[in-house]
Structure 1
């Protein structure tokens, strides 16, 4: 989802740049879960905070973000290669 959102906002950037930015955003959000100040804990108790900031840090989430973004990156590359071959 993050890859797609970044792609919407930066449609003319290279797919590798989009993948890198997406990973930075996902990793940033995940590592932010290690920060436990009172104000952010209260924000996480809201629906918005729970869905955007998450509840707790998990290494498995880092792995899932990485594989998910790599999967979408590969799908985009394959699709664009196919479409370029078809139009040529």
Structure 2
């Protein structure tokens, strides 16, 4: 139970940091505001999987979070009117994104790997 609480706290921290890159993006270095939000979002997905899968190996959360994040990105290639409407909302835009960008796959991978490596270090 303790590890679930720690991961929940990490998810909340990631949410605050990710929203911070959006709200204060004009005050951050361009590289940070341009790339860190997506990386933090994907790291949050990894941490959310850890909340659900604390009894399972870290690599399962690694693989599931990569699949989930990549799935969300590739889903942006689908442009039906109803999903465009969902994406135009604040929550829909934050969760589903707006349009496919290949660079986002790199950002997601970096954010997930960062959290995975930190998680492995803290587990040992």
TM-score range, shorter chain: 0.7 to 0.9
Choose the corresponding residue for 2:117, options 51, 74, 78.
74
Counterpart in 1 of 2:101? 58
Q: Separation in 2 of the partners of 1:18 and 1:64?
A: 17
Structure 2 residues without counterparts, runs of 5 or longer: 1-43
Q: Which of structure 1's runs of 4+ aligned residues deviate more than 2 A?
A: none
TM-score (norm 1): 0.87
Query: Alignment partner of 1:55: what SS?
Result: coil
Alignment of 1:1-88 (within 5 A): 1-81=44-124
Which is higher, the Rg of structure 1 or of structure 2?
Answer: 1
Superposed displacement of residue 67, structure 1: 1.1
TM-score (norm 2): 0.63
For these two proteins, the number of residue pairs brought into alignment is 81
* RMSD across aligned positions (CA): 0.8
Superposed displacement of residue 80, structure 1: 1.0
Q: Separation in 2 of the partners of 1:50 and 1:74?
A: 28
Structure 1 residues without counterparts, runs of 5 or longer: 82-88
Superposed displacement of residue 11, structure 1: 0.9
